[in-house]
């Protein structure tokens, strides 16, 4: 469990507090340990905006939190595990633009010093990667950096052009 951690598209949260959900990753940590992890990911402002901070109740399956907030809890939980390999499965798929930016900053900090595999449909996620693998119907069709793939006339470039057109009109 400590070598590889997966942050799924829809993370599972247990009924209880945010602290209890974080301690699932590493039981026995102190509140100071949890706050240190939150600070490392630069998420203290988010935590402070919650009604009861770490004691905020999340509801069964995290229903008292937005999809983006559930993702943030899952990212903090992953940071507490401190895995060698981190797999992010559509970590920003169902969040608003502001939360996506907050998650992106947390992901940058979390990915430092470890192998990180990001499964993503959002090009904003792929653009930040050191290496992008483009799959089409389960088959690898392109491999390179964001800039290299933009210079080619392949699937990634066509997806990027369509994304730019859709977001600038």
Domain ranges of the chain: 4-129
**pLDDT reading at 169 higher than 90:** no
pLDDT of residue 91: 73
The architecture of the domain spanning 4-129 is 3-Layer(aba) Sandwich (3.40)
Which H/E stretch holds residue 84?
Answer: none
- Distances in Å between the Cα of 78 and the Cα atoms of 35, 37, 61, 117, 157 are 14, 10, 17, 13, 32
Q: What is the pTM of this model?
A: 0.81
Q: Which of 5-9, 48-52, 118-122 has the lowest mean pLDDT?
A: 118-122
Kindly report the CA angle at 46 between 86 and 105, in degrees rounded to 5?
A: 40
pLDDT of residue 126: 83
Is 121 within 8 Å of 94 (Cβ atoms)? no
pLDDT in tens, 151-162: 999 999 999 998
Average pLDDT, the chain: 89
**Can you tell me the distance from the alpha carbon of 51 to that of 152, in angstroms, rounded to the nearest whole number?**
49
Is 74 within 8 Å of 11 (Cβ atoms)? yes
- Distances in Å between the Cα of 167 and the Cα atoms of 68, 91, 96, 124, 162 are 21, 20, 14, 12, 9
**Can you tell me the distance from the alpha carbon of 146 to that of 128, in angstroms, rounded to the nearest whole number?**
8
pLDDT in tens, 59-91: 998 899 998 899 889 989 999 998 999 998 887
For 99-149, the DSSP string reads: HHHHHHHHHHHHHTTSEEEEE-S-HHHHHTSSSEEEEETTEEEEEE-HHHH
Q: Taking the CA atoms of 6, 8, 12 and 17 in sequence, report the sign of the dihedral they define.
A: positive
**Residue given tokens 């964001």 in the structure block:** 146
The better pLDDT of the pair 111, 50 is held by 50
**Can you tell me the distance from the alpha carbon of 59 to that of 34, in angstroms, rounded to the nearest whole number?**
20
pLDDT of residue 94: 65
Kindly report the CA angle at 72 between 63 and 81, in degrees rounded to 5?
A: 115
């Amino acid at each position: 469990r400590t070598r590889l951690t997966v942050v799924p598209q829809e993370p599972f949260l247990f009924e209880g507090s945010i602290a209890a959900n974080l301690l699932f990753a590493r039981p026995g940590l102190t509140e100071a340990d949890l706050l240190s992890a939150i600070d490392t990911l630069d998420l203290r402002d988010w935590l402070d905006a919650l009604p009861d901070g770490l004691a905020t109740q999340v509801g069964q399956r995290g229903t008292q939190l937005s999809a983006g907030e559930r993702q943030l809890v899952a990212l903090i939980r992953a940071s507490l595990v401190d895995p060698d390999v981190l797999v992010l499965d559509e970590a920003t798929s169902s969040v608003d633009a502001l939360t996506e930016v907050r998650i992106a900053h947390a992901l940058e900090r979390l990915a430092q010093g470890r192998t990180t595999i990001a499964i993503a449909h959002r090009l904003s996620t792929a653009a930040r990667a050191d290496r992008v693998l483009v799959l089409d119907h389960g088959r690898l069709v392109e491999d390179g950096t964001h800039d290299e793939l933009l210079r080619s006339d392949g699937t990634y470039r066509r997806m990027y052009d369509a994304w730019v057109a859709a977001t600038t009109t």
